[in-house]
Amino acid sequence: MPAYKYLRPEDIRRLRNYEFGAKAMVEGYLSGRHRSKQKGSSIEFHEFRQYCPGDDLSKVDWRVFARNDKLFQRTFEQETNLECHILLDCSASMAFGGGDDRLSKIEYASFFAACLAWLVISKTDRVSLALFDEGIRKFLPPGSTRRQLNDILTTLENNRAGSGTSIIETLRRAHPLLRRRGTLVLVSDFFCDPAELFQALNPYLHRGFRVHLFHVLDPAELDLGNRGLARFVDMENGERLTVHPQAIREAWKEHLQQHTRALRSLAASRGADYALAPTSETYFTLLDRFRD
């Protein structure tokens, strides 16, 4: 396999021995191919069940009817596959970070997306990738081939942080593109209103998507520190503010905690998964979210 920036040989060696746990085995989410007791059309027979008015007559076993004068349907085990859809925030604010030998937020998110894509495709499941800022900049439809993985890795490598962010608009535009329900993995710094975010996620949740939110922040965003007079620049609109960080440190921390608490609470109430992901931690800790 060619060398790629966001999928290093040491990561592949670690991923080869990576297995998802019980949580990932539910209804095909990040589990690969498995048996499901959903009503399906596989040739693998499951059991008979008594016919109910409105059922599909084509599935009635007429030989059983001839013997017993009763209507029974054959049901089958259906093999299901995962479709994992990765939505990666590439707005200007995601370029922040990279100090003290740390990755920037967009680099950190790209390493995670590359590892997740490798894992899904290695289990012969399908993965898609959407890069977005104010809208969808690039979309790779679901695929499960080596070529799909190469396309994803090349796209990540050539990607650069863009302009402003509109997660809400992106989710609205992405909805018709994701034709099969599956796992939706949204990676962002989530500088947006939590209530509006979950309003935009509602169509996915109603369709039965499993939603994972990964909130990527640099440690300098989590704690402003005690440095002297500093100039803060909004990376998306250029607005500047000169202030002593110590004067706003506690207010900033409280505001950020309220924001993350709101995201976590809304996720829990809607059956979604939320994880705060500081770039100081290895991106493999994000993969562990699928084990719990």
Tell me 245's DSSP state.
Answer: H
CATH class of domain segment(s) 9-30+81-290:
alpha beta
Pairing between strand 126-132 and 83-89?
parallel
3-state secondary structure of 49: strand
Token digits of residue 148: 């799909």
Q: What is the pTM of this model?
A: 0.78
Confidence label for 173 from pLDDT (cuts 50, 70 and 90):
very high
pLDDT tens for each residue of 188-233:
999 999 999 999 999 999 999 999 999 999 998 888 777 777 777 7
Q: What is the CA radius of gyration of the chain?
A: 23
142 has a pLDDT exceeding 60: yes
Tell me the domain boundaries of the chain: 9-30+81-290, 34-79
Average pLDDT, the chain: 83
Task: Quick: pLDDT tens for 31-84.
Answer: 444 444 444 444 455 566 676 665 667 777 888 778 878 787 766 544 456 799
Among residues 191, 176, 214, the alpha carbon closest in space to that of 86 is found at 214
**Token code pair at residue 128:** 């898609």
